[in-house]
C-alpha cells in the first residue's frame, strides 16, 4: 500500500487523538495494522523499544546510525541485538567517512560546529533512509529533558513528511528499568559506568550520580539535541 502525504497527515492526526493514553504496544500495533512501512530508530543506548517492536512486528527494520564516532560498547550492543532479537538491523552511514569529512571541514568538526557535525553524520543519513518508510518510531521519553516534555505519542514529522511514533513517551525511568528486568534485555555496558545518556564518544561525558541524565551530552555547550527531532 502506498500512502500520499495527505493520507499520512490524516492518519497521524487520527492516531494522535486515539492513542494519547495507549500502551506502547498498542501504539506500535496501530501502525502495523494501518499497513504503514515502519522502521525503528535504535541508538543502542538501551534496547527497550527495539525489543518491544520485535514482539509486535517480528523482523522490523531497526535503523542504527553509525556516525563513525560511537563508543566500542555501543557497536558491541548493536551487534548483540542483531544476533539476538527478531529484527532486521540496518546500519546507516553518512555520505562521508570521518576522514573525508575531516578533509573537507577540518579535523574535529564536532568541537567547532557540533550542529553541523550532527547534521552531516546523523540527521542527513536518517532523512535519506526514511524515504523508504511511511513511519518511524523513536525512543524519546518526556522525562528525559525539558525539551522533550511535550512529546506526543503520534505526530506528523514535518521535516520528513512521515508519521513519527514515540511509543515510550510516557514511560518513567522506573518503567524502563522494570521492562529491562522483566525481559532480561541487552543493555549498553556504559549505562552502568556513569553514562545515562549515550551519544558519540567525543561529545559524551560521564554524569555524576543524581545529576541531569543528559548533562553529559555536549557538555560545556548550550546544545541539547542532535537535531534529529527538531
**Strand ordering across the sheet containing 38-41:** 87-92, 60-65, 38-41, 135-137, 162-165, 154-157
Instruction: Of 43, 47, 42, 78, give the one whose Cα is nearest residue 200.
Output: 43
Length of the chain: 230
Q: What is the DSSP letter of 144?
A: G
Angstrom distances, CA of residue 93 to CA of 61, 66, 89:
15, 5, 13
As annotated, the active-site residues are 226
CA-to-CA distance for 111 and 223, rounded, in angstroms? Answer: 12
CA-to-CA distance for 73 and 43, rounded, in angstroms? Answer: 12
φ, ψ for residue 139, nearest 5 deg: -90, 15
Rg (CA), the chain: 17
Helices (runs of H) and strands (runs of E) counted in the chain: 9, 6
Amino acid at each position: 500500500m502506498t500512502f500520499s502525504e495527505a493520507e499520512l497527515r490524516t492518519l497521524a492526526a487520527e492516531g494522535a487523538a486515539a492513542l494519547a493514553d495507549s500502551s506502547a504496544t498498542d501504539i506500535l500495533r496501530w501502525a502495523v495494522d494501518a499497513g504503514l512501512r515502519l522502521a525503528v530508530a535504535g541508538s543502542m543506548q538501551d534496547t527497550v523499544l527495539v525489543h518491544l517492536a520485535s514482539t509486535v512486528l517480528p523482523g522490523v527494520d531497526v535503523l542504527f546510525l553509525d556516525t563513525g564516532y560511537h563508543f566500542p560498547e555501543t557497536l558491541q550492543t548493536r551487534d548483540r541485538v542483531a544476533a539476538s532479537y527478531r529484527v532486521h538491523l540496518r546500519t546507516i552511514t553518512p555520505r562521508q567517512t570521518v576522514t573525508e569529512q575531516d578533509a573537507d571541514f577540518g579535523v574535529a568538526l564536532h568541537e567547532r560546529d557540533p550542529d553541523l557535525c550532527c547534521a552531516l553524520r546523523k540527521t542527513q543519513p536518517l532523512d535519506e533512509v526514511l524515504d523508504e518508510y511511511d513511519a518511524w518510531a523513536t525512543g524519546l521519553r518526556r522525562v528525559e529533558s525539558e525539551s522533550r516534555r511535550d512529546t506526543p505519542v503520534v505526530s506528523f514529522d514535518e521535516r520528513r513528511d512521515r508519521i513519527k511514533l514515540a511509543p515510550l513517551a510516557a514511560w518513567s525511568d522506573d518503567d524502563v528499568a522494570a521492562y529491562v528486568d522483566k525481559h532480561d534485555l541487552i543493555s549498553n555496558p556504559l549505562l552502568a559506568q556513569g553514562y545515562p545518556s549515550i551519544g558519540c564518544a567525543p561529545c559524551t561525558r560521564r554524569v555524576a550520580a543524581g545529576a541531569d541524565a543528559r548533562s553529559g551530552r555536549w557538555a560545556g555547550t548550550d546544545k541539547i539535541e542532535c537535531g534529529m527531532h527538531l
